[in-house]
Amino acid sequence: MMQTILTVDDSPSMRALLRNALAGEGYAVTSAVDGVDALERLEDDEDGVTPDLVITDINMPRMDGFGLIEALRAQARWANVPILVLSTEFSDEKKARARSAGATGWIVKPFDPVKLSAAVRRVLI
C-alpha cells in the first residue's frame, strides 16, 4: 500500500518541489498552505486517509508549524504520526521548541532530495 505524506508550506514552489521529490520516491502526496488548512483537510477528509507522515514549515500565516504540531499531538488520532519540520530556521532554540511540541525531526531548507528521502524513510520504518 502506498504511504501518504501531508506537506504543509505557504510557498507554492516549495509544495511543488516536495511533491515532485516525494512522488518520485513512490509516495502519495497531499498538501496544505498553512496549519489551519492542514487541520481542516485532516478533519474534513471524507475517505478517512490518514497521512503516514506530516512535513511542515514553521513560518506560515494563520497557524505556524509549532501550532500545527501541538494541535496534532493533542489529538489521539495523530499522536503517533511522525512529523518532520522543513524550515529555513535552524537555531537550537527553534529545534528544541519543535521537539518539545512533538516534532520527530528537522530538515533545513533548501533541502537535498536525497537527504529528504533518507529522513522520510527513517521515520516511516
What pLDDT score was predicted for residue 90?
82
Place 47 in a pLDDT band, splitting at 50, 70 and 90: low
Question: Whole-angstrom Cα distance, residue 59 to residue 14?
Answer: 13
Domains in the chain (CATH in brackets) are 4-58+81-124 (3.40.50.2300)
Question: Whole-angstrom Cα distance, residue 31 to residue 12?
Answer: 10
Average pLDDT, the chain: 92
Question: Whole-angstrom Cα distance, residue 21 to residue 44?
Answer: 26
Question: Whole-angstrom Cα distance, residue 45 to residue 79?
Answer: 17
What's this model's pTM, rounded to 2 decimal places?
0.93
Place 48 in a pLDDT band, splitting at 50, 70 and 90: low
Average pLDDT of span 19-27: 95
Average pLDDT of span 39-58: 84
Percentage of residues of the chain with pLDDT beyond 90: 81
